[in-house]
Amino acid sequence: METAVVENPATSKDTRWKLLTATMRRHGNRPHALIESLHTAQEAFGYIDDVAMKYVAESLRVPLSKVYGVATFYHYFTLKPQGKHTCVVCTGTACYIKGAGQLLQAMEEKYGVSAGETTEDGELSVLTARCFGCCGLAPAAVIDGAVAGKLTVAETLERLDKVIGK
């Protein structure tokens, strides 16, 4: 997950940097490729750190302040590394009506992390999102990339325990 110490992303052999370089090139290194580039960076590294932001800023010839502004404006981008496993709880209307709050509360009680936090051992990050479009199956959560619907508190905790191997 760490971006490792990078000599120079542009010449790095790390494929993750190469992916980012390729995305920017595909858009002719034009400033409007900023959001697409940040998406690629986040997908490759799991989050967007200073090195990545600087690299994008230089390549697209956009002020670093603007890159930072865009990266912090959009909720989807995260500047912090995530835990080994993630649980994204939907807090959209349907899930809220069907008890998403209880799921979050139970997780907080059991693992001691509230939304947006990662457990101290770096195993689990609890996040929230507004609607995955599975409202028919509310309440829903995405655990390590897979959508789980019609969740109860017990079931959620059981699944999480399995994932983090407790």
Partner 1 sequence: MTPDELKTTAEKQREAVGKYPHRVHVCMAAGCISSGSDKVKDALTDELKKAGKDKCCLVKGVGCMGLCSAGPLVEVADSVAGNSVMYKNVTAEDVPALVASLEGKPVPHLLLPKDIPFFTAQHKIVLENFGLIDPDTIADYIMMGGYEALNKALTDMGPAEVLHEVTASGLRGRGGAGYPTGLKWSTVAKAGGGQKYVICNADEGDPGAFMDRSVLESDPHRVLEGMAIAGFAVGANAGYIYVRAEYPLAVKRLKNAIRQAERSGLLGQNIFGTPFNFKIDIRLGAGAFVCGEETALIASIEGLRGQPRPRPPYPAVSGLWGCPTLINNVETLANIPPIIRKGGKWFASIGTEKSKGTKVFALAGQVNNTGLIEVPMGIKLRDIIFDIGGGIPEGRKFKAVQTGGPSGGCIPEQHLDMPVDYESLASVGSIMGSGGMIVMDESSDMVDVAKYFMEFCMTESCGKCVPCRAGTAQMHDLLARIMEGDATMRDLALLEKLCDLVKNTSLCGLGMTAPNPVLSTLQYFREEYTSRLLDGGGNGRHPKTAAAAEVR
Q: Measured between alpha carbons, how far is residue 46 from residues 40, 83, 91, 137, 161 in Å?
A: 10, 10, 22, 27, 22
CB of 4 to partner 1, least distance (A): 25
CB of 88 to ligand FES, least distance (A): 11
- Residue 132 engages ligand FES in binding (rule: CB under 6 A): yes
- Residue 68 engages partner 1 in binding (rule: CB under 8 A): no
- Residue 39 engages partner 1 in binding (rule: CB under 8 A): yes
Q: Which of residues 8-37 bind partner 1 (CB under 8 A)?
A: 31-36
CB of 11 to partner 1, least distance (A): 25
Nearer to partner 1, 32 or 166 (CB): 32
CB of 31 to partner 1, least distance (A): 6
Which of 95, 151, 157, 160 binds ligand FES (CB under 6 A)? It is 95
- Residue 52 engages partner 1 in binding (rule: CB under 8 A): no
Residues near ligand FES (CB under 6 A) are 90, 92-95, 131-135, 138, 140
